[in-house]
Amino acid sequence: MNIAVLGTGMVGRAIAGRLDELGHTVVVGTRDPEATRARDEGTASYAAWAAEHPRIGLATFADAAAGAEVVVCATNGAASLDVLALAGAERLAGKVLLDVANPLDFSQGMPPTLFVKDTDSLGEQVQRAFPDARVVKTLNTLNADLMVHPETLPEGSSVFVSGNDADAKGTATALLEELGHTDVIDLGDITTARGTEMMLPVWLRLYGALGSASFNFKIVR
């Protein structure tokens, strides 16, 4: 598939790199491609990563979204709505939009809180702002490495999909299975994203208690 991954951070790179490896045509979206290419972060530079992923394109959010069948919003949650606005509602219309971000609020110190929760969610905000996109909330409950390599855990674990469009959830589920996820649970409509986004606080405490981000929730049943 033609897939746009919006965001050049750890999550965006992990997803883009793995989808490329799996044979998809991937374009990463960023605010200013020239600035992204020029930013010097040493071995963590986008340019260094891009050199190892020569098939993956880099474009503006709008250009990346324009050619995509599936758009993955992999920015930090606080930026999601702005980034998607730059991508453009008309270029998102009708497309599967995977929202993998969390509404983390770092303004009160650590651990972060959530800037939306319980009676609303980031997934719903995205769906309301882009009513013609087919939003699926997923992959926000585990770390970037495990999103794309769940098989590195000693046993299978669970991921979730929330969304109003059954076909879009089907597309998302097929992609998740390509990534190696063996237990994809359809929680229901986009309001169920409230549930998975509110797992972040315990994820953060588990990260502290276990001293590692290499864990995931499995729904035993």
User: Whole-number minimum distance, CB 10 to its own copies, in Å?
Assistant: 20
Contact set for its own copies, span 158-177 (CB under 8 A): 160
Contacts of 162 (CB under 8 A, 6+ apart): 123, 136, 137, 138, 187, 188, 189, 190, 191, 192, 193, 195, 196
Please, which of residues 96-155 interact with its own copies by CB under 8 A?
Answer: 108, 113-114, 117-119, 153-155
Minimum distance, C-beta of residue 7 to its own copies, in the bound complex (Å): 24
221 is an interface residue for its own copies by CB under 8 A: yes
157 touches 150 (CB < 8 A): yes
Burial degree of 66 (CB within 10 A; 0-12, 13-18, 19+): middle
Burial of 35 (0-12, 13-18, 19+ CB in 10 A): exposed
- Which of 9, 18, 8 has its CA nearest to residue 148? 18
- Sequence letter at residue 93: A
Amino acid type, 197: E
Provide the minimum distance between the beta carbon of 165 and its own copies in the complex, in angstroms, as a whole number. 16
Residue 43 in contact with its own copies, rule: CB under 8 A: no
* All residues at 6 or more sequence positions from 164 whose CB lies less than 8 Å from its CB, including other chains: 127, 134, 135, 189, 190
Q: How far is the CB of 112 from its own copies (least distance, A)?
A: 10
Q: Which stretch binds its own copies (CB under 8 A): 28-36, 49-57, 165-173, 187-195?
A: 187-195
Give the other-Cβ count within 10 Å of 203's Cβ.
Answer: 19
Q: In the complex with its own copies, which residue's Cβ is closer, 78 or 153? A: 153
Q: Shortest gap between Cβ of 77 and its own copies (angstroms)?
A: 14
Question: What residues numbered 200-219 form the site for its own copies, per CB under 8 A?
Answer: 201-206, 208-210, 212, 214-219
Shortest Cβ distance from residue 153 to its own copies (Å)? 5
User: Residue 78, interface with its own copies (CB under 8 A)?
Assistant: no
| Positions that interact with its own copies (CB under 8 A) | 108, 113-114, 117-119, 153-157, 160, 185-188, 192, 194-196, 198-199, 201-206, 208-210, 212, 214-221
